A = this chain, B = another copy of it.
Amino acid sequence: MQIQQIPTPALLVDLDAMESNLRSMADFFADKPAKLRPHFKNHKAPLLAWKQLRMGAIGMTCATIREAEILVQHGVDNILIANEITGEEKADRFAQLSRYASILVGVDSATSVRELACAQRKHGTRLQILIDIDTGLGRCGVQPGQAAVDLARRAAEAGLTVRGLTGYEGHLQPLPPGPERDEKVRLVCRNLIETASRLESIGIAADIISTGGTGTYAVCGRYPGVTEIQAGSYLLMDTQYVERGATFQRSLTLLASVISTRGSNHAVIDCGMKELSAERGLSAVKGLPGTRLKALHAEHGLLELDAGLSRPLEVGQKIELWVHYSDATVNLHSSLYGVRNGKVEEVFPIVH
């Protein structure tokens, strides 16, 4: 099928760009003690997870119990939920998954310790956790140092298997690349490693130190003692991450059709915020200089064209927009069309 034949709106990935990203990241980790555990939340496509695993990733990271279930059902057997879960129902689901996979979950509260310990007893399985560290992002996680040690001891005493630490420095991803950001990233890593050694001093073998994203993997991935990196955006890349200086190739676009035009400087496409997230900014139009996305309504995108463009848009014409924020856009689709040389080569199901 030609790209022009894909029913719109549709999410496309440029296979050349994606494969280049896949190889670059695999090459980086080829000679490092740290390994890659890519984040599933960025693409939610089991076939892409398998591409990553076959290129050397040790397992997958995910954000929710539902994503972990999808991964287990699709044969992935090494999973980190780099996030907290709460409540008996989710602890039960986690315990069930532990029968099929080596699965870890982040923990930052005594409540979670209690709930998971209860599920462990109830299901007769061995549950493994990582203590979630607040790296300065100010979201979830306990502080590095004593607070983490106290929680790890409590978890161990409750019978849970503490495997180490997880901490995501999301607040450092948007900083401009350079020595200043690198130093901040190294401080995060140092805090994690020091906390891990304090865990070891109380008899908890912290053999997993999981951190890092697409903006910071090169620093975290070289830091002695860090064992795995959670980068995910590198594979599909959105323009947001390109603007942050990440060196991978953007590959993700939204194919839309022009459904209405007025004069030569106004056109409307069949793609709104139900197909393309504008939560972090509006997308740029690919390959059409002088053409801008002016607004995104629920079901429509409004395009503005510079005066005097030699080729105004026509009803029925298909255009591509660069995806600005991949996480929230992939989430709106159930298929990702893999394209090369103007043709569809593969379709990757996105599973919810």
List chain A positions with a Cβ less than 8 A from chain B. 5, 7-8, 41, 63-64, 83-87, 89-90, 108-109, 111-112, 115, 134, 138-141, 170, 257-262, 266, 268, 270, 273-274, 277-279, 296-300, 302, 314-316, 327-328, 331-332, 334, 352
Contact = CB atoms under 8 A, between A and B. Distances in A.
Give the 7 A-B CB pairs with smallest separation, nearest first.
A140-B260, A111-B315, A84-B259, A298-B327, A63-B299, A109-B315, A86-B316
B109 A261 contact: yes
A296 B280 CA distance: 11
Contacts of A134: 262
A108 B258 CA distance: 12
A63 B297 CA distance: 12
B83 A258 contact: no
A89 B328 contact: no
Given A83-B300, A84-B260, A139-B268, 12 more contacts: A7-B87, A64-B270, A83-B299, A84-B270, A84-B315, A85-B270, A87-B316, A111-B315, A115-B316, A139-B297, A274-B328, A277-B279
29 contacts: A7-B89, A7-B90, A41-B298, A41-B299, A64-B299, A83-B259, A84-B259, A84-B270, A85-B259, A86-B315, A87-B257, A87-B316, A109-B261, A111-B314, A111-B315, A111-B316, A112-B315, A138-B302, A139-B260, A139-B297, A140-B268, A274-B327, A274-B328, A277-B279, A278-B279, A279-B279, A279-B296, A331-B332, A334-B352
Contacts of A7: 87, 89-90
A55 to B, nearest CB: 24
Nearest to A326: B298
A202 to B, nearest CB: 23
